[in-house]
Amino acid sequence: MAEKYRVGLIGCGGIAKGAHIPSYKLESRAEIVAVCDIKKERAEFVRKAFFRNAAVYEDYKELLKDESIDYVDICTPNYMHSIIAVDALNAGKHVLCEKPDAINVEEALKMKEAAERNGKKLMVIRNNRYMDTSKKVKEMADSGFFGEFYAGRCGWIRRRGIPGKGGWFTTKAQSGGGPLIDLGVHMIDLAIWFMGNPKPVAVTGNTFSKFADAEEMDSPESKFGDKVEGGTFDVEDLAIGAIRFENGAVLQIEFSWASNIKKETRFVELRGDKGGLSWNGGKAEVYYEKDGKQKNEKIKGNPAKLPHRVNIGHFIDVLGGAKPVFVPEQGIDMIKILCAMYESAETGKEVLL
């Protein structure tokens, strides 16, 4: 392997510029040598602003022909994740991909199978796992501090934060859904990871779309994606439901791009038979009993630390032989949960996985 891993960045939109590119500027073990976007001017901008020596592509398949590239980092709209990942793996590249893993279970399975068939590494971003507080809570959970987690809830609820209205974010064929697949991946994954990755067995839920015509958007994330006047809006803006696990635990979930609430919140709350926890926006607190008294303890950590950088660094560690924190099977379970919730919302029935 070369002194630095040579990386091809595919997709030069908001998440690339807001999280991935700043991470690579701080990561000494990897170098962006090629950038690609279907809007070539965006790729040209990224090259000029950040990676002056990078090659520029409009077609990702041309980028994949560069045999010197070690891995690709996929930052495209959701429906392209699996398509590009499978092509890249078949071309002999390792793959790091933004969430969600795919827009349906079949596509997620194709990604896992392509990685195994080609002997390449596949990792999907789970940036919230890499916050200081998240790692400390996970260590406490693994040590048995909380005992058995049996119930909890998680969510990400915005007051007004619909991204790219009319564009790919709000077009189900391209996004796979609304806030459930956009935001749900983050907090559901964090909760299940804290819980020790129990196997989900059933899902029930409901979805609503009430803010398709709302004009004012105050969340910074509403600036993600390209708005299209008169475009498609065929996804939910609120999803609410519950996941049941093989061990009997239950997790309530709620995700919304727009709701009449006081302020935006993203959280995980879990209850164990020895202790409980609250994770909110990167800050964490635990609750337990000691010497016959109830205790509340804040977990120290830096919630502002760029978690994408740590996630990318971990992927590079994995390329060097380290044990992965995230494996594709967990991504497949995630997509099963999300798709089952959409099915439950349509049928009005619990969906068994």
Nearest Cα residue to 180 out of 244, 232, 255: 255
Lowest mean pLDDT among 139-153, 208-222, 315-329: 208-222
Per-residue pLDDT tens digits for 299-346: 998 766 799 999 999 999 999 999 999 999 999 999 999 999 999 999
Nearest Cα residue to 324 out of 200, 198, 193: 193
What does the domain layout of the chain look like in residue ranges? 5-124, 129-305
Over residues 212-232, the mean pLDDT reads 85
The amino acid sitting at 342 is Y
Per-residue pLDDT tens digits for 34-81: 999 999 999 999 999 999 999 999 999 999 999 999 999 999 999 999
**In this model, does residue 2 exceed pLDDT 70?**
no
Between the alpha carbon of residue 314 and those of residues 30, 46, 191, the distances in Å are 12, 24, 20
Question: What pLDDT, on the 0 to 100 scale, is given for residue 220?
Answer: 81
Residues 6+ apart with CB under 8 A from 144: 274
Question: What pLDDT, on the 0 to 100 scale, is given for residue 304?
Answer: 64
From CA 110, how far away is CA 86, in angstroms rounded?
Answer: 7
CA 203 from chain centre, in angstroms, equals 20
129-305: what CATH class? alpha beta
Find out whether 263 and 168 touch, Cβ atoms under 8 Å.
no
Q: What is the DSSP letter of 300?
A: P
5-124: which CATH architecture? 3-Layer(aba) Sandwich (3.40)
Percent of the chain scoring above 90 in pLDDT? 93
Confidence band, pLDDT 50/70/90 cuts, at residue 215: confident
From CA 280, how far away is CA 156, in angstroms rounded?
Answer: 10
